[in-house]
Amino acid sequence: MTRCRRSHPGCTVGRRGTNTGKRTSARSPWKRATASSSIDPIDPPVELGPPAHVLVTVYWHGRTSGEREAGDVWASTRSAQPLRNRGIEVMHPFRAGDDLPGGIEAFQTARSAEVVYWLPEHRAVVAGDVLLGAGAKPRPTDEPLRLCPERWLGKKTHDDLRETLRPLLDLPVERVLVSHGIPVVDGGKYALAAVLD
């Protein structure tokens, strides 16, 4: 599993999610989930080659998915049309619980167009916007993990979001890879439980 970062102002995370201690690069990750799949890609290193599958957590994170040489783009049915409106062809619209490449599982969130992914091989949860890591805007904190601002949920509440994410606590989570802020690379289940209980 590789997590690479693209330069983005205002973040303290460097290459591969390590804390550099200085404000340098990255808020938008490109995550290689398996040898043939990537999640929310944005300018991945050329040496990794094109993935066979690109999975998108939420349509805002489609970014450069359509520009990649990937074979297939996968997105939830609620994100598929907004991605098409952005010029990204979704070959495989899916619902949470459908079979995904590489044994990856999708969990629906209270944010209707967003899913989080479970990567069993890596014991990792991959979140788009519903979970934020330390240092993420808006209002950066030192908390390892926190919920997105409630206003991002439309008519839903933080209680609704917690309810949809609680099934993740039944999994042997070691890592929580976030798109914004510092990823939780150890003790992911504890960090997740702290925001969901």
Total-model pTM: 0.81
Query: Which segments of 29-130 are extended strands (E)?
Result: 29-34, 37-39, 53-55, 72-76, 92-94, 105-108, 115-119, 124-126
Residue 139 belongs to domain with CATH number: 3.60.15.10
> Residue with structure tokens 């094109």?
50
**pLDDT tens digits for 88-112?**
889 999 999 999 998 999 999 999 9
Q: What is the mean pLDDT of the chain?
A: 81
Predicted local confidence at residue 53, as pLDDT: 87
Domain count across the chain:
1
* Contact yes or no for 108/166 (Cβ under 8 A): no
Other CB atoms within 10 A of residue 102 CB? 15
Torsion of CA 57, 62, 67, 69, to 10 degrees: 10
For the cut 50, the answer to whether the pLDDT of residue 6 exceeds it is: no
CA dist list (Å): 44 to 6, 53, 54, 66, 139: 8, 13, 12, 13, 28
Predicted local confidence at residue 34, as pLDDT: 53
DSSP-derived letter for residue 192 is: H
Lowest mean pLDDT among 41-50, 119-128, 136-145: 41-50
For the cut 70, the answer to whether the pLDDT of residue 64 exceeds it is: no
Cis status of the peptide bond prior to 50, with omega within 30 of 0: no
Task: Please compute the mean of the pLDDT values over residues 146-158 and round it to a whole number.
Answer: 95
**pLDDT tens digits for 52-61?**
888 998 888 8
Indicate the burial class of 60 (C-beta count within 10 angstroms; 0-12, 13-18, 19 or more): middle
Domain coverage including residue 18? 2-196
